[in-house]
Amino acid sequence: MSEDTLFAFWKRAVVQGFANQMAQPVAPTRRGFTHAYRFTGDRNLEYREEFAGMTRWSGDELIVHDFEHPRWRLSVHGGFEPWLLDPDVSEKEMRSLKEATPLRLREALSTARTESLEAFLPRGPVEHRMDDLWVYRCDWNGGFDNFVGTETLGRNGMRIMTMDFIGGIIL
């Protein structure tokens, strides 16, 4: 299967997952995972997205062919910064940031539009500002076939979460 075919499918599928505020989650296939999205397309390709965790989380985006042969994957791991998990941080502040973080992450990821292999964005845009308070940043190396990077989300100049990711084509 060609890189162009996989990329064209991924481009259509990724907007049906977590980044889409209207996406309907499905039951996760892995025990302990809490969020899952699926998109099935032509050529017997399926996009699977699953995540687990509350303060530190891990997840995958996976494209499979014939519903069993992995062809492309993005794995992400990270979570809230240690200062936010400190018992001395007020419960009220911690709760509001923990509730807002997934919404802000989803907003930032939904702004990424990859139109070509050469302009591939593995997660979100290089930078996205929200409300003059929140800033999302994504830095990576590589292309659709092989990449590694880090994304961060901050508020009022303080980093709230960091996620590392890696991925590419599976031969």
* Per-residue confidence (pLDDT) for residue 85, from 0 to 100: 82
- Tokens representing 156 are 């009022």
pLDDT score of 91: 80
Query: What Cα–Cα distance (Å) separates residue 144 from each residue in 33, 81, 114, 127?
Result: 26, 28, 11, 19
Q: Is 119 exposed, middle or buried (0-12, 13-18, 19+ CB in 10 A)?
A: exposed
Please count the helices (runs of H) and the strands (runs of E) in the chain.
3, 8
Is residue 93 predicted with pLDDT exceeding 80? no
Q: What is the dihedral of CA 100, 107, 78, 126, to 10 degrees?
A: -130
What's phi and psi for 47, nearest 5 deg?
-100, 130
CB 133 within 8 A of CB 97: no
Whether the pLDDT of residue 54 is over 90: the answer is no
**Residue carrying structure tokens 């084509």:** 169
Q: Residue 30 half-sphere exposure, CB side, CA atoms within 13 Å?
A: 15
State pTM to two decimals.
0.92
Helix (H) or strand (E) holding 82: helix 82-85
What total number of domains does the chain contain? 1
The answer to whether residues 49 and 10 touch, using CB atoms and an 8 Å cutoff, is no
Specify whether the CB–CB gap between 94 and 82 falls below 8 A: no
At 70, the pLDDT band (50, 70, 90 cuts) reads: very high
Pairing of strands 158-169, 146-155: antiparallel
Q: Residue 18's closest CA among 72, 65, 76, 69? A: 76
Domain enclosing residue 140, as ranges: 3-169
For residues 138 and 170, what is the distance between their CA atoms, to the nearest angstrom? 23
- Most confident among 27-36, 83-92, 110-119, 161-170 (mean pLDDT): 161-170
